[in-house]
Structure 1
Amino acid sequence: MSNNSLRYKYFRLSVNGRIEASDFRNLRTLYAPILKNESILLYEYLNDYLDGAVSKNSEIDFETFIIYLNMSREKINEARKELEAYGLLNTYYDDQASLTVFVLQPPLNGHSIEKNAFVKKFLIERIGETNYKHLINKLNKQNNLNLNELQDVSSSIFEIVDIKKLEISHPSPRLFDSKPVYESPSVSYTLTTEKFMTLGAAKNNDGEIKRFVKEVNTPMKLEIGNTHYSNEYEALLKLSCQDFAQQLLNRNLTSSENITIDIWKSHFGDVKIVNLFIYFAIKSHPNAKLTWTKYARAYYDEVKSTKLSSFEEIENYLDGKFKTTNSLIEVYKSKEIMKNVYLKEN
């Protein structure tokens, strides 16, 4: 923001994803040397103000925080601008509602800061190269087990139960809450592809959708900035691949990302199919905003090997895969919630 004061004093506050306890450790460790104390205090206070909600309209104007935080008007606006400059807060104006819209962003972590030349440079200038390496090594050792990089060899439900004997119009969530086994390329098409397609095609009833709503956080974003559709499933169906990726990432794509997407589109033709790869990759790896294409490429290569070609077939296949994997099932549930809302409205 270029101005010291805001156009609209009352505001709506939301958060991009979730801010966990580990994010505050990253905030204190990586940002304390480069941010003013007032900026960190404002960030923590805004998060507390949400009180666990995804979005909240203010009951007070922004400058009332002057009283609560014991800051001057100049200090609180300087803190806000510093959070914006370091990517921890996005600020928008909703002229129709006469509101300022704040969106809190999670701090960088020990891995992602290495890819952010701007923040990395400032941190090194403040604390020195040796101290910087010490901080990064310390943070990364605390998070050295990345399940996304490991091969999942857990047993599949299909090894234990004869799927043909089951009533699968509405599969029991408890029964199918297991992980798919890793299978070598020699396993037949029927055992791998059709089982996921069958599970993915099974529709969820209203009771199951209501349970999903209680179990997962599925915010509908404001249609501002890169967000063209508040319902991400509608965005998946209607946006170009580039626009869809930009909405999920909330940033412009790099030239490399654009080229990669064009390659995928040239094979499948239907942009909705490529949007499925983009959606599942970004949602299943929320901390890989700069490396998401390697996960999308894995889905692209996997689906390409199945010889499936239609959007419905591929959606069923990926749904079946995600709904039977413990670490991915929340992504599936969130997508089903938005799909259910979209289908009821259209």
Structure 2
Amino acid sequence: MARIHPLLLDIDSAEFRLLNDWQRGFPLVPCPFAVIGDRVGLSEQAVIERYLDWVTSGVVSRVGAVFAPRRLGAGALVALAVPPERLDDVAARVSAEPGVNHNYEREHAFNLWFVASAADDKALRRMVCSIEADTGCHALILPLEEEFHIDLGFDLSGRCAADRAECESRVSGSTATACALPEMERSLFAALQRGLPIMPAPWAGVGQRVGLNENMVIEIVSRALEDGLIRRFGVVVRHHELGIKANAMCVWDVPDELASTLGRQLARYPGVTLCYRRARSLPHWPYNLFCMIHGSVRETVLAQRDEIARSLGLDHFPHAVLFSGRRFKQSGAHYLPLGPESGHG
């Protein structure tokens, strides 16, 4: 299949809809790719081939679950101050950890930022301590304290307001913690961390690998979506490959008593793709309110950020903007020991 830059596709084309419309609301039916094909005017096989092609080329990370932070285990944003001449080597060591799912260079003295996930806080600390010991770099560990808007995907059409409003009551202000899971659910979720196999009967396929029948797999996933343990289930795109390369982490040091109110207000702006409150790490990191703004052009992202900050009066507080540089790793979070290999076909 010819590779066409997704952002150049007509928003009414089948290819655009495959990338954009199924980032959430994935069909919980035995043959989901056939249902998607019916909706967009393609055969089941054509849909499968396109998704497999996009996974191979890196446009799509996986088709699968995005789990709510801290519901399956422990996680934190971690930063290292790495001598520039050692950045490649240290980044490679960090990316080698299965529990690291995002690893980016950023414009700051703390120039390497990664997201670490583990089964519990002790395992997370062991992972970070191992990285510190191997690299000689002190780590800032910034656990999530309150989420306002996290991972609803990238609306490539620019019409994201409806999705934001639909999920706001379930997401905004959440402080959920890890839950105990029966072994049946743990096995399934561990396997799903790699993504759903891209095949005609994917639920049956993943069920065979963990000893569950198709109906039970669908029921467990449906229940997890209703409960919020799974934030969304669908196509997980890689924004760099979609031309969304200006990635700014915007941070403020706001009084703790104002953080929740300001975070909820900040999360409502369409340009904000992620928003949360994290613990400070004094004296090196005083900031507690975070948001991400993604776009195609750096100047546009900065203009969005400045307008949002002006509207809320945020720049009365100490602040910083950290644009990303190189991306060393981007994958799904691994809270649980990886389940049986599911593959894509």
- TM-score (norm: length of structure 2): 0.29
* Higher radius of gyration, 1 or 2: 1
Whose relative contact order is higher, 1 or 2, with alpha carbons under 8 Å and at least 6 apart?
2
Higher strand share: 2
Higher helix share: 1
